[in-house]
Homo-oligomer: A and B are copies of this chain.
Amino acid sequence: MALLADLPRPLADNVIVERVFAAVMEHKLPPGAKLAENALCEAFEASRAQIRRVLVVLAGRSVVTLHPNRGAYVSSPSASEAREVFEARRAIERSVVLSAATAIDERTLAELRANSRAGAAAEARGERSESIRLSGQFHIRLAEIAGNSVLTRYLEELVARTSLIIGLYGSTRARTCSEAEHDTLLDALAAGDKQRAADLMEEHLHHIEEALDVRDTPAEPVDIRQILQA
């Protein structure tokens, strides 16, 4: 269960950033979790200066929120933020699917099908965190195939934030990312039907959003002070 292998320490900044990203996507770091500097220093055997830098990067990606003098916390997206994230995903992933449709080949298609199967299997076994991880990877992999690193970077951020949103507003029973929909999307891609694939992706994202109970429950670690003062 060691979070890090005994590789070249000190770890590079981006490695630490990716580890935190991964932990968020796998629901290991829930929304609102405090990220104390000391804890991170020990976890990654890093200096405080490095951790501080990493936290700034993560805040720039909206995965953590910095409260001045109070520390860093895993973000708790509000209901309106959640809407914005899904709208952004539809905009970006529609374009991603259109590009991927022309770029995709047999090998990558098979890889995505394998991902879908593995996700369904994990879900069946009740391994929720693994299922979530694979489902997120499906979308990111598609962006990589589309070959636009700008959009891929944005999507990585949005997938992580989606994970937080599901953690906050998702009912535990509802499927969050149906592998069946991934499969029909792949069918459209295999058939070269770009437009249909794009529409399916948009529907898919709508379904995920609708499966959530996105009411404006402040719920999580609301900071009383910030609301009252100023």
Binding site for B on A (CB under 8 A): 53, 56-57, 60-62, 81, 84-85, 87-88, 90-92, 94-96, 99, 148-151, 154, 158
Contacts and interface: CB of A to CB of B under 8 A. Distances in A.
B150 A88 contact: yes
Contact of A92 (B60, B85, B92, B149): B92
A148 B60 contact: no
Copy number in the complex reads: 2
Contact of A88 (B60, B62, B87, B154): B154
B151 A84 contact: yes
Contacts of A95: 87-88, 90-91
Given A81-B149, A88-B154, A91-B151, 19 more contacts: A53-B53, A53-B56, A56-B56, A56-B57, A56-B60, A60-B60, A60-B61, A81-B150, A84-B149, A87-B151, A88-B95, A88-B148, A88-B150, A91-B92, A91-B95, A91-B96, A92-B92, A150-B158, A154-B154
Contacts of A96: 91
B87 A99 contact: yes
Contacts of A53: 53, 56
A87 B148 contact: yes
Contacts of A81: 149-150
A207 to B, nearest CB: 18
Contacts of A62: 150
Contact of A57 (B60, B94, B149, B150): B60
